[in-house]
Amino acid sequence: MTSEPTTPGAAAASGARTLPPFRADHVGSLLRPAALKRVREEHAAGRAGAAALRAAEDEAIRDVVALQREAGLRSATDGELRRQSWHMDFIYSLGGISKVHDDSLRVKFHNADGDIEWAPPSAHVDSKLRLDGTIFGDAFTFLRETVSESQTPKLTIPSPSMVHYRGGRAAIDETVYPDMDAFWTDLTAAYAAQVRGVHELGCRYLQLDDTSLAYLNDPEQRQHVAGIGGDPEHQHETYIANINRALAGRPADLRVTTHMCRGNFASSWVASGGYDFVAEALFGGLDVDGFFLEYDDERSGGFEPLRFVPKDKQVVLGLVTTKRPELESKDGLKRRIEEASRYIDLDQLCLSPQCGFSSTLEGNDLTVDDQKRKLALIVETADEVWGGA
C-alpha cells in the first residue's frame, strides 16, 4: 500500500493515549545500578546466594519503577534488571535450545572510537522446541505488583526471529528439524503459548524486540544471511509471517508492539541503513499495534518509509539516543516529529528513546542522571506536542 505525504503538522493530534504505546514511552532496558552489579558479580563467584541476588534485584526494580513514575511515563518495565542480555536469557529458557560458544559467529559493533568484535554465546536447537513454563512469569508478576495505579506494566521479550537470525540453518540440528517448516511450526506454537501465559498473569502490554528486521536493511547484513545459507531477499517476509503466526488468536485486550534497532551494546551498534528494504512488507503486514523505530541519527535513514504504515498503527519515534549522554534539544525533537508527520498522521506518532539504555548488563556510556534527564525530556516534549502525555 502507498499513501501521499501529509502536510507537516496538518493532522490534528488527540492528546494523551489511553492504550499503549503511549505518547511518551520507552523501549525497556535501564541502566543496572552499581550495587546490583556488585551482588551479581558476587553471585557469579559463588560468594552470594540466589536469595541475596533476588533481593538485590527486587530492590533495584522498585527503584527503577519509581524512576519511571517520577519521569511521568505511563508504561513501566523492570528495566530488564534480572537479565544478562535483552534476548538470550529468554532464548535459553525455551525447551530444545542449548547455549553454545561458536567463535565463527562473531559480531562487529561500531562506535565513534572504532570497532568492537566479539563472539558472544549463541544458541543451538538440539531437540524439539517447546515452552516448559511461562518465561519471565515470576519477573512480570513482581513488576505487576510493584507498579502504581498510574503505570501500565510492560513485558519485553525477543521476537521469534531472534531464535533464527544469527546462526540460521546451521544452528538447527537437521536430525531434529530436517524440514524448516516444522521448526517454524514448533517455535511459533511455543511463542503463542508464551503470549497466552503472560496474558493470564495480567500482561496487557507486550513488546517483541527484533534487531533482524532492522539489520536486513543493511546490505552487509544481507551478505551475512547469504553466507550462512539464508535467503537475503525474502528472509524478512518469512520472519513477518511467523511472528504473525505466533500472535494469531491473541487476546483482544493485549496490546503488542515491536521494537527494531540496529544493535545496542556498550554505546555501539552493528548495522546501518533506512527502513526502505523491509518497509512495505513490514509496516503493511506485521500484525502488531505499534512500531518502536530507531531514528536517533543518520544511520536510520529518513522518514519516507513511514508512508507504508496503516492508519490503525502507531509509530514510536526513537529520536532520543541512549548511546550518548548529551541531551537533545526539545525544539530539535519537535522539528523531527513535524518532519515525520509529512508521511504519517501526527496522531499516529509517539516519542521514545531509540533503544534501551542497557541491552546487556554492561550498559551504555551514560549515568543514571543522564538517563533520568532523557526520559523527562521525552515526557515534556510529548506533553507539548500532543497535549498531555
Structure confidence by residue, pLDDT tens digits, 78-101: 999 999 998 999 999 999 999 987
Distance CA 215, CA 274 (A): 10
Q: Mean per-residue pLDDT for 297-311?
A: 94
| Residue 123 vs residues 51, 100, 166, 168: alpha-carbon distances, Å | 28, 6, 9, 10
Say if residue 262's pLDDT is above 90.
Answer: no
Out of 62-76, 96-110, 326-340, least confident range: 96-110
Say if residue 6's pLDDT is above 70.
Answer: no
Residue 25: inside a domain? no
Q: What is the pLDDT of residue 272?
A: 79
Average pLDDT value over all residues in the chain: 91
What CATH number is associated with residue 313? 3.20.20.210
Residue 294: inside a domain? yes
Out of 27-41, 103-117, 201-215, 221-235, least confident range: 103-117
Tens digit of each residue's pLDDT (9 = 90 or more) over 208-236: 999 999 999 999 989 989 998 999 999 99
Residue 94 per-residue DSSP state: S
Distance CA 127, CA 132 (A): 13
Residue 213: inside a domain? yes
Say if residue 320's pLDDT is above 90.
Answer: yes
The residue range of the domain holding 194 is: 34-386
Q: What is the pLDDT of residue 4?
A: 40
Q: What is the pLDDT of residue 267?
A: 62
Distance CA 223, CA 233 (A): 10
Q: Mean per-residue pLDDT for 384-388?
A: 90
Distance CA 11, CA 347 (A): 7
Out of 57-66, 247-256, 353-362, least confident range: 353-362
Q: What is the pLDDT of residue 297?
A: 86
Out of 237-241, 336-340, 349-353, 364-368, least confident range: 364-368
Cβ-proximal residues to 65 (8 Å cutoff; 6+ apart), any chain: 76, 78, 143, 146, 147, 148, 151
Distance CA 66, CA 146 (A): 9
Residue 5: inside a domain? no
Q: Judge residue 51's burial from the number of C-beta atoms within 10 Å of its C-beta, 0-12 exposed, 13-18 middle, 19 or more buried.
A: exposed
Say if residue 373's pLDDT is above 70.
Answer: yes
Q: What is the pLDDT of residue 54?
A: 98
Q: What is the pLDDT of residue 358?
A: 93
Beta bridge partners of 76: 153
Residue 2: inside a domain? no
Residue 380: inside a domain? yes
Q: Judge residue 171's burial from the number of C-beta atoms within 10 Å of its C-beta, 0-12 exposed, 13-18 middle, 19 or more buried.
A: buried
CA dihedral 337, 338, 343, 344 (to 10 degrees): 60
Say if residue 110's pLDDT is above 90.
Answer: no
State the total domains in the chain.
Answer: 1
Find out whether 316 and 257 touch, Cβ atoms under 8 Å: yes
Cβ-proximal residues to 219 (8 Å cutoff; 6+ apart), any chain: 273
Torsion sign across C-alpha atoms 168, 235, 321, 291 = negative
Q: What is the pLDDT of residue 109?
A: 63
**Grid cell digits, residue 105:** 559467529
DSSP assignment of 201-223: TT--EEEEE-SHHHHTTSHHHHH
Distance CA 353, CA 42 (A): 32
Residue 4: inside a domain? no
Say if residue 3's pLDDT is above 70.
Answer: no
More confident residue, 297 or 288: 288
Q: Mean per-residue pLDDT for 260-265?
A: 79
Distance CA 264, CA 360 (A): 8
% the chain with pLDDT above 90: 81
Q: Mean per-residue pLDDT for 322-350?
A: 97
Q: What is the pLDDT of residue 119?
A: 63
Residue 18: inside a domain? no
Tens digit of each residue's pLDDT (9 = 90 or more) over 115-152: 666 667 789 999 999 999 999 999 999 999 999 999 99
